[in-house]
Amino acid sequence: MDVSRYIKHPLFLILFFFFIAPVAVIPLGGMSLAIEVMIWAVFAMGFNILLGYTGLPSFGHGLFFGCGAYLFGLFQHHVIKGVWIPLAGSILGCVIIAALLAIFMAKKRGIYHALLTIAFTQMFFFIAFQWDAVTGGENGLMGIERYPLSFFGLFNIGIESSLSLYYFVFAILAVSIILLWKLIHSPLGTVFYAIKQNELRAKYLGYNTPFFKWLSWIISGAFGGLAGALHALLTHGAFADAIHWTRSGDVVMMVIIGGGLTNFFGPVLGAIIFIALRDIFSTITEHWYLFYGMLIVAIILFMPEGILGYLKVGKSGAPDSIKEDSSKELKPASLDLKGVE
Amino acid sequence: MAELLAQLFNGLVLGLLFGVMALGFMMILSVMEVINFSHGALFALGAYFALTLQKFVGYWPALILAPVFVGLLGLAIERFGIRRIYGKDPLFGLLLTLGLAMAFEEIIRIVWGKTGSSLAPPAFAAGPINLGILWYSKYLLFLAVLSLVLLFLVWLFLEKTQYGAIIKAGVSDSEMVLALGKNLNRLRTLVFGLGAALAGIAGVIAGPMWSLKPTMGTEILMPSFVVVVIGGIGSFWGAIIGGLIVGLSKSLSILIYPRMSELAMYFIMAIVLVLRPRGIMGEKSLLEE
């Protein structure tokens, strides 16, 4: 067994980076930012299954992030004072929401798909915002606790301090990345990518494409819920503004900035850059949104393939089929086949 | 009874305004295949431009000039921004206009301040009027008339001019329009300019009804979305019907259960989508591919 092969693997390098990051982060006092980066990395990578690999533009995934957080809190308040079961509840709840919503979505693609995601996320925003008996409305759902992690009642590990929470989130990040990596390199991942490249062709090859789109929604929704639950642990609360459409662009931007459309690890880089920029700009100016808006415009106009795509390092982690520039969509091919439908 | 009638009137007025917003949004959506997230911000800019212009030129010139400026801004956005992303994933247009919307909203905060300001209605439309069955705001009636005029002009443009024919043809088959030798680039610039101007004038006329605040654009954007989804992409009458449905659902739900006023239109949207996945008047178009 060749150990060096594993050490050079980008998965290993990324995880090693996050494993040792606290050495640098603790002196700077940015532990909660570092945890946030990892949470958003989980969210963005899961989201990228839908966006980058299945090619379905969603602007509504803040919905899962928000619902994950609420469900985590609700489970803690009403079911059990723990971490594992609320976490599982958040994921399961988001899977159910995704499964229901995706019934509408799975038959759509492109711009119409995006339009519907925006409308639905806003619907959930108002439900969360108005239903204050359950969600706490404007004030958010407070009192979410970092209870110790219990391992089958055998032993407990506290996650009260930010360092221990960091390594808990790190462990989840590691499991998530490995799961997603396996998924992308599985036959299922290939079907997702085939749908992105040309849905009609995938259909004619015998794949039930609406079903796979539905599945892609569920997977991305599950990771959204997981990330939302972790964020609730970090901030001790769940808030409606995570669901608002103005926030739903954040995760999309992370994927784009990092180069997630062409690289498996793009969303991780995107999360690091996004959180860092937000932190820097919002401390030096109260008009962070002006800079954020202009940054979005600049990236879309001048660097739409994101940082990793721009630097052409898109090859390292991506499967062979994903090496080509996937930002140039399948327009011509689908137009050719229009008469066939 | 009077209350019900008043809310019914409010709903209709609001519906016409949403129709104006949704038509501009939809024209941009169908011709350029861009979900224009900045549509709300352009609406807000229209209102704020009018706020400043009224101080210098009075009501009527401001009513014309403010939308013209917003339209010019729209032309610039198309020429220097959106034109570069045609043919790419719809996501890029969406993000580009989202970025612009955020920047515009923040610019409004910087230039005109964070707190609300109010746009005065013209003198002849101030105060209430006795309609026999109820006292109703003169301005809202004036707003309804203005919206109807705008809707009529848009209808004339879409149905009676060559540009309108090209736009409608472009929705069903943009390749064919190109093949017939129509200059899509000029058309797209024009359509974005017009759509922006429509948003701008909607902002000017809605200004006296609501107070002006930087987030007003964000607030009207979602109803415009929902109107288009309910009415169906690419249909003039769909936008009108959708607008009225959303307007009425907002105002009538205030009577029954005020908390539902923001939510009602989403539930209606969900029901419409179950029954008619392309919206009430929607037909199959290229946008679904």
Q: DSSP string covering B106-168, please?
A: HHHHHHH-SS-B-PPPPGGG-SEEE-SS-EEEHHHHHHHHHHHHHHHHHHHHHHHSHHHHHHH
* Chain A residues touching B73 at Cβ < 8 A: none
As a whole number of angstroms, the distance between CA B144 and CA A228 comes to 44
How far does the CA of residue B72 sit from the closest CA of chain A (Å)?
Answer: 19
Chain A contact for B264 (CB, 8 A cutoff): no
CB B191 within 8 A of CB B34: no
Closest by Cα among A238, A176, A110, A75 to B285:
A110
Q: What is the pLDDT of residue A87?
A: 93
Task: Flag whether pLDDT at A324 surpasses 60.
Answer: no
Residue of chain A minimizing CA distance to B84: A301
Contact B81 A287 (CB under 8 A): no
Determine the Cα angle at A336 with ends A331 and A341, to 5°: 105
The two three-digit tokens of residue A179, written as one number = 């799961």
Residues for chain A: how many in total? 341
How far does the CA of residue A232 sit from the closest CA of chain B (Å)?
Answer: 25
Q: How confident is the model at residue B201 (pLDDT cuts 50, 70, 90)?
A: very high
CB A70 within 8 A of CB A97: no
CB A123 within 8 A of CB A66: no
Residue A156, φ and ψ in degrees, nearest 5: -120, 150
Residue of chain B minimizing CA distance to A306: B92
The enclosing H or E element of B83 equals none
Contact B106 A287 (CB under 8 A): yes
Q: Name which residue leads in pLDDT, B128 or B228.
A: B228
The secondary structure of chain A in percent helix, strand, coil, rounded to multiples of 5, reads: 75, 0, 25
**Which has the minimum average pLDDT: A28-32, A36-40, A305-309?**
A28-32
How far does the CA of residue B111 sit from the closest CA of chain A (Å)?
Answer: 12
As a whole number of angstroms, the distance between CA B6 and CA B14 comes to 12
The two three-digit tokens of residue A156, written as one number = 């407990």
pLDDT of A62-81, one tens digit each? Answer: 999 999 999 999 999 888 88
Contact A290 B266 (CB under 8 A): no
CB A115 within 8 A of CB B224: no
Which residue is associated with the tokens 């449905």?
A: B245
Residues 87-126 of B with CB under 8 A from A: 87-92, 94-96, 98-107, 109-110
Q: How confident is the model at residue A328 (pLDDT cuts 50, 70, 90)?
A: very low
Q: Which of B86, B95, B220, B245 to mutate to test the interface with A (most CBs of A within 10 A)?
A: B95
As a whole number of angstroms, the distance between CA A190 and CA A188 comes to 5
B107-128 mean pLDDT: 85
Task: Flag whether pLDDT at B87 surpasses 80.
Answer: no
Helix axes A10-28, A31-48, angle to 10 degrees: 150
* Residue B212 DSSP SS3: strand
Largest CA distance in chain A: 64
Q: What is the pLDDT of residue B173?
A: 66
Contact B99 A122 (CB under 8 A): no
CB A228 within 8 A of CB A273: no
Which residue in the set B104, B105, B287 is minimally distant from A112, CB to CB?
Answer: B287
**Residue B69, burial from CB neighbour count under 10 angstroms (0-12, 13-18, 19+):** middle
**Which has the minimum average pLDDT: A52-56, A310-314, B6-10, B243-247?**
A310-314
* Chain A residues touching B245 at Cβ < 8 A: none
Q: What is the pLDDT of residue A338?
A: 36
| Ramachandran category for residue A236: left, alpha or beta (phi over 0 → left; psi -120 to 50 → alpha) | left
pLDDT of B10-61, one tens digit each? Answer: 999 999 999 999 999 988 888 888 889 999 999 999 999 999 998 898 888 9
Residues 42-71 of A with CB under 8 A from B: 51, 55, 57, 59
Contact A57 B94 (CB under 8 A): yes
* Residue A245 DSSP SS3: helix
Largest CA distance in chain B: 58
Q: Which of A101, A122, A199, A341 to mutate to test the interface with B (most CBs of B within 10 A)?
A: A122
Chain B contact for A287 (CB, 8 A cutoff): yes
Residues 227-286 of A with CB under 8 A from B: 245-246, 249, 252-253, 256
CB A202 within 8 A of CB A191: yes
As a whole number of angstroms, the distance between CA A229 and CA A73 comes to 8
B268-278 mean pLDDT: 85
* DSSP string of A48-97, one letter each residue: HIIIIIS----S-THHHHHHHHHHHHHHHHHT-SSSHHHHHHHHHHHHHH
Q: What percent of chain A has pLDDT over 90?
A: 34
Write down the mean pLDDT value for chain B.
87
B251-268 mean pLDDT: 86
pLDDT of A168-227, one tens digit each? Answer: 999 999 999 999 999 999 999 999 988 888 888 888 888 888 899 999 999 999 999 999
pTM of the model: 0.86
Chain B contact for A104 (CB, 8 A cutoff): yes
Q: What is the pLDDT of residue A1?
A: 55
As a whole number of angstroms, the distance between CA A293 and CA B77 comes to 14
Closest by Cα among B58, B201, B67, B69 to B122:
B58
* Chain A residues touching B85 at Cβ < 8 A: 300-301, 304
How far does the CA of residue B289 sit from the closest CA of chain A (Å)?
Answer: 6
pLDDT of A213-263, one tens digit each? Answer: 999 999 999 999 999 999 999 998 888 888 888 777 899 999 998 888 888
Q: Which residues of B110-149 are buried (b: 16+ CB within 10 A; e: fewer)?
A: eebeeeeeebebbeebeeeeeeeeeebbbbbebbbebbee
Most confident segment among A4-18, A106-120, B9-23: B9-23
* DSSP string of A206-218, one letter each residue: T--HHHHHHHHHH
User: How many Cβ atoms sit within 10 Å of the Cβ of residue A214?
Assistant: 18
CB A138 within 8 A of CB A7: no
The two three-digit tokens of residue B173, written as one number = 């088959």
Spell out where chain A has E strands: 149-151, 155-157
* Chain B residues touching A290 at Cβ < 8 A: 102-103, 106-107, 110
B146-157 mean pLDDT: 93
**Which has the minimum average pLDDT: A130-139, B133-142, B173-182?**
B173-182
Which residue in the set A57, A245, A297 is minimally distant from B100, CB to CB?
Answer: A297
